[in-house]
Amino acid sequence: MFLSVLALTIVSAHAKDINAEKISIRQARDIGFMSESAARKEFAGYTFTLKRPKVKANALKDVFPFRGTVVAYFAPNGRILVWEGKAEKVAVGAWGVGAPLDKASKAGNLVCFDFSGKSKKYLPCPIIKVYGKSMYERAKGNVFNLRAGGKVPKVVKSIDRKLQKLHDSLGK
């Protein structure tokens, strides 16, 4: 019994709490209707677990070419670093937050991605309040130390939606 408690204490001492928070639909909606600069701050400098939202005819597959849940770090400089489960290297792209082109639209802010490596074409961009269903958790900072084109922390069959669980599984 004593050894079990001691082992649990040692494991707990090594597990770093990354303070991950669940993203609720309400929170995504609120972000969607903030000012553009305030909404950008809700992404910049955070690591998220998310997936490409389901839309008609996979319209987003060209700008967000990943399947299933991914880990994405939204760098403050507008770069996005993505760890996709079976990939061996970290993908790099661009991200931004903006208002719809139709200024009369009441859709709220958009979050835009570009992994084409060309210009910032960013289209189509999902509406943040709708995309909220595809965002699971976030934690401050580049939690997994992702680097553009660098090796992923671990090649896995699928990415867990829970950042803390994924972090702990890597022995971080």
Q: Which residue has the higher pLDDT, 16 or 48?
A: 48
Q: Is residue 154 part of a domain?
A: yes
**Residue 12: predicted pLDDT:** 43
Phi then psi for residue 13, to 5 deg, are -70, -30
Range of the domain at 147: 21-162
Q: Is residue 35 part of a domain?
A: yes
SS3 call for 74: strand
Q: Is residue 11 part of a domain?
A: no
SS3 call for 137: strand
Structural Rg of the chain based on CA atoms: 17
**Residue 62: predicted pLDDT:** 67
Q: Is residue 172 part of a domain?
A: no
Q: Is residue 126 part of a domain?
A: yes
Average pLDDT over residues 130-147: 93
Positive or negative: CA dihedral 80, 119, 123, 156: negative
**Residue 13: predicted pLDDT:** 44
Positive or negative: CA dihedral 54, 57, 59, 64: positive
Instruction: Examine the pLDDT at 73 and tell me if it is beyond 80.
Output: yes
Q: Is residue 171 part of a domain?
A: no
How many domains are there within the chain?
A: 1
Q: Which residues of 117-146 are buried (b: 16+ CB within 10 A; e: fewer)?
A: eeeeebeebbbbbbbbebbbbbbeeebbeb
Structure tokens at 34: 């903030």
Q: Which residues pair with 131 in a beta bridge?
A: none
Q: What is the pLDDT of residues 78-88, one digit of tens each?
A: 999 999 988 99
Average pLDDT over residues 101-122: 75
pLDDT band at 167 (very low <50, low <70, confident <90, very high): very high
Q: Is residue 8 part of a domain?
A: no
Average pLDDT over residues 105-131: 77
Q: What is the pLDDT of residues 3-25, one digit of tens each?
A: 343 333 344 445 689 999 999 99
Q: Which residue has the higher pLDDT, 98 or 80?
A: 80
**Residue 131: predicted pLDDT:** 81
Phi then psi for residue 122, to 5 deg, are 50, 10
Q: Is residue 86 part of a domain?
A: yes
Structure tokens at 80: 């996005």
